[in-house]
Structure 1
């Protein structure tokens, strides 16, 4: 059965899978056996398409690293629809959700995975001062918790601690950081957060190094929930 140890000090659940051109359902069945998690295809997804075969050879790797690899090869994605029992991870086709989050860059920390899912560039003009153009970058992340973890509250924003270009110049600017305090209860074992960065004219085409944290309240249940700090880091992030 899944561990109920304090998650702040807890490491990831480790999984070993070795399959060659296998049906993804067979791989998911092995993950269920090793973890005790109900990781399965959403019932309606079974009739939507023929799934691509999966070849994996991963020994004692974190749960989310294994699930991500299986999903990336089989074009699957986590799916939140209606009631999902505790300890469950339902998957469906990427066509059904309209994106492929398991193919995005990711950062692992203990039983959590943070995926960088998108970046948008925005420009705004206040017509009271039309000569001033405000340009910002909005980064979107998805934070995934192992099914044994109950995320009680999650924030709207991630906290960016470092963002530098190839020359080492900081992109954080002088704007105050947006506080990242728990605000809402997620409806699944993952949740999305955003972060804003200034984007001056002549901004670089890549962020050489991006580092930050997401803070949430999580535990084995609501009674044991405590603030958890989930760090993430990415390199060579392309900008629009």
Structure 2
């Protein structure tokens, strides 16, 4: 077992106890909970103003996830380095981490301030993705790389087996198309947000200077950007 390292002292207030509901959800999802304070920190957004939040754990979990996926792709594929990198980038992307988070119903268990939640934080790709990585960081600290790699395999298997990353992400494809046609980089803008926090809808417009624009609506900013880029390429590409 890898011993938990300190998250670092600061002057914010002490974190509260991990609830039984959160612990049950974590263990049902596949995590093995040891020190409750560590896991509470992994679920805590900085807006709570508590002594520990997920930022340091997210830093660690990001690296653990990248190594676990890279190892998996290397073992399962004879693809050249460029194709492996393309798939790795897709599988560890913020959008993919957020998609996995939604699939395991992470959002209700994030500890986030009322204001940040009202601003859409509980459905933010950035926050959902960061918490997914922080949970992997916590698992790594308590159980080491092997069990955490197995957990990544469990959670990411549907994405890997669906072929995620075999074709280019629409935003990457649009970025390369713009560069290849000597155009300025695409510009994305949220033009509308509607619905309650738990079922928000984002409408995003993407523009390429002196070419045109397209827009799309989805349940997260990241997915709306992806859909808008896809629509743009279908229209102008």
Q: What TM-score does the superposition give when structure 2 sets the normalisation length?
A: 0.25
Q: Which has the higher strand share?
A: 1
Q: Which has the higher helix share?
A: 2
Q: What TM-score does the superposition give when structure 1 sets the normalisation length?
A: 0.25
